[in-house]
Amino acid sequence: MIRRGRTEGWLKQPIDTLPTWATFHGVAFNGVKIGPLPGFEERGSTVIADTDLEGGKVEPLLVIPKELIISRQNIEMFARADRHLREVLEALGDFGRTTRGTKDVGVLNPLTEYIKFLPDELLPTFWSEEEQELLSGTTLRPAVRAKLNSLLREFETLRTATESIGWCARYWWDEDTGMVTFEDWMRVDAMYRSRALEFPGAGDCMMPCVDMANHASGEGTAAIYETDSDGNGLLLLREGKKIAAGGEITITYGDEKGACENIFSYGFLEDAVTSAKVMFLDLDIPDDDPLRPAKIFVSTAAPGFRIFEKKDHIEWESDFIWLVVINEEDGLDFRVRQTIDGKREIQAFWKEQELDTVKLREHLQEDQAWDIYRLRAMVLLQQRVETQIETLQGTQSELREASIREGPWKLAVQLRQLELEMLEHTFNTLERQKLSLLESEAVQRYLGMATNEVDEEVDFS
């Protein structure tokens, strides 16, 4: 439907007509305009200073009436006056009670007009199979796959929940008269993902006009966004920040976000980016671990680990890995028990005490073998990092095929390089930490005991 609307023109408006929409709906512009920045047109529209501005000496640059903000609260309010929206929300149950779940429900209000100004972002969910292949070995590849799967599931939820509502069946799902397709769901997801901002007190929101601001990190960020005491949205120039007429008013989409997340959610990397910053790598429990099925059953943590930069060094964190590195000899046990309603459940025990796996790290930290568990974790992480390096190196394409667009190609090349550098850095960091742990008394004692008893090299994995 969206593609058709764009092609036929009924779901498209040129950005230079945005001021008319904005004035009509009470948006205040103070010293700024919206449009493409000369020389940077490929970044779409942005907020531009119309006159010389200095933070602290100017009014809020944009004031957005609270009724125009797409927040969970406002959607519930719209639904009170809109039977169709209410029917859909009720049919969707919990899913309809999120900002995300209700974003594409069409009701005639100012926002159905605003959507016409939004560009179609080339996020990786829209890259071709061949373009997505370029991401092999990067952390973005599984993220995009998982996203496409969850979008499919969401779309099915939306369809099954609403196909018995007469007007939905007719206008959305009917083979002849229905217009909604999975591609539409992908497109609204991309709009939401690339434009939603988190507002203190209001949660994730889409805020018309403020969402036209492009991103710049660090000192480059020109403005901040917030809500006033009445709930209206504000774009404010940072205190002391000077922007000359014609200059860009940027905000930050989150300086802490890594390269993978930036491409995933916004489809670009800042020119000055020099590091992948944050990476999440999956981790499996080895097949030869006899407790593997029980561990998978009880674990509530994401199966992997995060590596991230902190100042000039690399750190890692994982709630999952601790369950992977301990076994029965250490004191881990599982028992099956029956619940009140007759169901069977597996309960984990650590040294005879019931174990809440979320707290496992705390228990291990108090254990005299803590250094040994840490060493095992590091060995495992290092192996996983090494495999990732090999996959990245083994899947590098040298030449851009004609069918691959320049944007995805450039981003994939950049991401591969940044992630490779970060992985190599991580590998070396883990090597140093491993060597220093080997010196620890607990490890020395364990190694001594192990070599005496079994007279063979200890396998920490």
Ligand X SMILES: C[S@@+](CC[C@H](N)C(=O)[O-])C[C@H]1O[C@@H](n2cnc3c(N)ncnc32)[C@H](O)[C@@H]1O
Residues that bind ligand X (CB under 6 A): 43-46, 118-119, 121, 194-195, 211-212, 214-216, 266-268, 270
> 395-415 in b/e burial notation, b at 16+ Cβ within 10 A?
eeeeeeeeebeeebbebbeeb
* Min dist. Cβ of residue 382 to ligand X (A): 35
Return the number of the residue (45 or 382) whose C-beta is nearest ligand X.
Answer: 45
Return the number of the residue (137 or 267) whose C-beta is nearest ligand X.
Answer: 267
What is the residue-wise DSSP string for 304-344? EEEEEEETTEEEEE-SSHHHHH--GGGTEEEEEEE-TTS-E
* Min dist. Cβ of residue 216 to ligand X (A): 6
Q: Quick check: 32 and 50 in contact, CB under 8 A?
A: yes
- Dihedral sign for Cα 277, 280, 281, 283, please: positive
For residues 115 and 22, give the distance between their C-alpha atoms in angstroms, rounded to a whole number.
13
Alpha carbon 41 to chain centroid distance? 26
For residues 458 and 66, give the distance between their C-alpha atoms in angstroms, rounded to a whole number.
64
Return the number of the residue (45 or 74) whose C-beta is nearest ligand X.
Answer: 45
* Min dist. Cβ of residue 402 to ligand X (A): 24
* Min dist. Cβ of residue 224 to ligand X (A): 15
What does DSSP assign to residue 70? Answer: B
* Min dist. Cβ of residue 168 to ligand X (A): 29
* Min dist. Cβ of residue 119 to ligand X (A): 5
- Identify the bridge partners of residue 237 per DSSP, sorted by sequence position: 223
Q: Is 164 left (phi over 0), alpha (psi -120 to 50) or beta?
A: alpha
Helix, strand, coil in percent for the chain, rounding step 5: 50, 15, 35
Return the number of the residue (47 or 285) whose C-beta is nearest ligand X.
Answer: 47
> What tokens appear for 136 in the block?
């092999």
Return the number of the residue (37 or 298) whose C-beta is nearest ligand X.
Answer: 37
Return the number of the residue (153 or 410) whose C-beta is nearest ligand X.
Answer: 410
Amino acid in position 90? E
* Min dist. Cβ of residue 267 to ligand X (A): 5
Return the number of the residue (220 or 293) whose C-beta is nearest ligand X.
Answer: 220
* Min dist. Cβ of residue 169 to ligand X (A): 33
Contacts of 55 (CB under 8 A, 6+ apart): 223, 236, 237, 238, 239, 240, 241, 242
For residues 135 and 143, give the distance between their C-alpha atoms in angstroms, rounded to a whole number.
10
Contacts of 237 (CB under 8 A, 6+ apart): 53, 54, 55, 56, 58, 61, 222, 223, 243, 249
- Element spanning 269, H or E: none
Return the number of the residue (171 or 409) whose C-beta is nearest ligand X.
Answer: 409
For residues 111 and 67, give the distance between their C-alpha atoms in angstroms, rounded to a whole number.
10
* Min dist. Cβ of residue 235 to ligand X (A): 12
Residue closest to ligand X (Cβ): 44
Return the number of the residue (195 or 363) whose C-beta is nearest ligand X.
Answer: 195
* 321, 353, 381 from 361: Cα distances, Å: 9, 14, 16
* Min dist. Cβ of residue 197 to ligand X (A): 8
* Min dist. Cβ of residue 273 to ligand X (A): 10
Return the number of the residue (268 or 322) whose C-beta is nearest ligand X.
Answer: 268
For residues 271 and 263, give the distance between their C-alpha atoms in angstroms, rounded to a whole number.
13
Q: Quick check: 264 and 80 in contact, CB under 8 A?
A: no
Return the number of the residue (212 or 364) whose C-beta is nearest ligand X.
Answer: 212
